[in-house]
Amino acid sequence: MSRYRHLFFDMDQTISPARSPVLPEMDQLLRSLPQDIIIVSGGERTRIASQVGDVRRYTLAQNGNHGLDPTDSELWYAPLEDRHREEILAHIDRLVAHLDHELGHEYVPIEDRGAQITFSPVGNHAPHEVKRLYDPDAARRLDLLARVPLESDEIVVKIGGSTSFDYIHKDRHKGANVAKLIEHLGWDADACVYFGDGLYPGGNDESVIGVIETVRVRDHHDTYEKLREVLR
């Protein structure tokens, strides 16, 4: 652990339950670490703040397309264009047509976050237990994408969170934005490590592989144990 000075974390299912605050023991552990903390999430800055509280951190919101320093001052912001939105919404319509269940209208299935659009078939604000049971191994969503692929020159879709499809610009993924922050701050990439639950083909952490060292975790409990193990 002594060689790591900058610790990057995905949010949902990595340091917290989906769309929920970090647990007290994780909060205490994060506050005790001497390294820089960087949260890289598909969520917006306000949601990340509601989950992680006032832990001192860099924030890479919307897959890193909205970068903020520990004082919450903006480092950069790269929103989608209207033509991207049209393309994304058309693909979501095709996905909906292939669902084997009713769309979760009451729980906001589509969120336009500015630099990212997130689609959840059960709804982005569905109860935690509903989301936990919907697609725990991502197989359901990966199968849907295999049947209804996105063909685009500029947009990609990744499996995000516990139930979501995250749409972003193909050149503005987590890996690119992690590299952008490291270059911006003059950090040594060898002193960085990334923890994420989506470090698999099609996962929204996949693009970080090869940028810095990565640690794949099952969920926030696994992250906690692996961090404690490394610290020991």
Does the structure show a pLDDT above 70 at 2? no
Q: What is the pLDDT of residues 36-56, one digit of tens each?
A: 999 999 999 999 999 999 999
Whole-angstrom distance between the N-terminal and C-terminal Cα of the chain?
Answer: 9
pLDDT attached to residue 18? 86
Give residue 30's pLDDT.
96
The per-residue pLDDT for 230 is 76
Average pLDDT value over all residues in the chain: 95
44-54 burial code (b ≥16 CB/10 A, e <16)? bbebbbebbee
Cα–Cα distances (Å) from 79 to 62, 67, 100, 140, in that order, read 9, 12, 32, 29
Tokens of 128: 């935690």
Task: Read off the pLDDT of residues 115-124 as tens digits, 9 standing for 90 and up.
Answer: 999 999 999 9
Size of the chain in residues = 232
Checking if the pLDDT of 232 tops 80, the result is no
Domains of the chain: 6-78+172-231 (3.40.50.1000), 82-169 (3.30.1240.20)
Comparing C-alpha atoms, which of 171, 153, 161, 150 is closest to residue 92?
Answer: 150
Structure-token pair, residue 217: 């975790």
The CA-CA-CA angle for residues 73, 54, 184, to 5°, reads 35
In terms of C-beta distances under 8 Å and separation of at least 24 residues, what long-range contacts does 58-62 make, across chains too? 58/181, 60/174, 60/177, 60/178, 60/181, 61/113, 62/113, 62/114, 62/115, 62/116, 62/168
Distance CA 195, CA 205 (A): 9
pLDDT of residue 1: 55
pLDDT at 24 over 80: yes
Higher pLDDT, 180 or 232: 180
The Cβ of residue 99 has, within 10 Å, a number of other Cβ atoms equal to 13
pLDDT digits (tens, 9 = 90+) for 128-186: 899 999 999 999 999 999 999 999 999 999 999 899 999 999 999 999 999 999 999 99
Task: Give the pLDDT confidence score for residue 210 in this predicted structure.
Answer: 98
pLDDT in tens, 89-105: 999 999 999 999 999 99
What sign has the CA pseudo-torsion 138, 127, 219, 227?
A: positive
Q: Which residue has the tokens 């692929």?
A: 149
At 8, is the secondary structure helix, strand, or coil? Answer: strand
pTM of the predicted model, to two decimals? 0.88
With cut-offs at 50, 70 and 90, classify the pLDDT of residue 19. Answer: confident
Average pLDDT over residues 187-207: 95
- The closest of 90, 99, 146 to 117, measured between CA atoms, is 90
